[in-house]
Structure 1
């Protein structure tokens, strides 16, 4: 991976801790590259992620999915 790509990667994941994502949270707890930042609400997690993206230029999904061909009309 080139350095420029590494600079764009997110270092944190914001979310609401819940039983459904315990496995993901445990994996992130063990990770040295990505940190899980808990939030009491979904909108709070979204706001934190959006703010970090604007301040750092990093986003949670550096490679957006390709558009659905059916949506291209």
Structure 2
């Protein structure tokens, strides 16, 4: 499964803005990308609850940073 989408947008924005490696935009993007990989793996290693939690944290970090509406 590709991690295109939200994690890619988050990392592109972090790169464009020169954010440090420990910035929430980068860390939540990485965590969500890992959750995507585990959720869609042949043997699923990430349950729905953890996948959705990672998505919610990533979406919130994105919205807080960009000012985009959360809902």
Q: TM-score, normalised by structure 2?
A: 0.33
Higher helix content, 1 or 2: 2
Looking at both structures, which has the greater relative contact order when contacts are Cα pairs under 8 Å and sequence separation is at least 6? 1
Q: TM-score, normalised by structure 1?
A: 0.32
Higher strand content, 1 or 2: 1
Q: Which structure is larger by alpha-carbon Rg, 1 or 2? A: 1
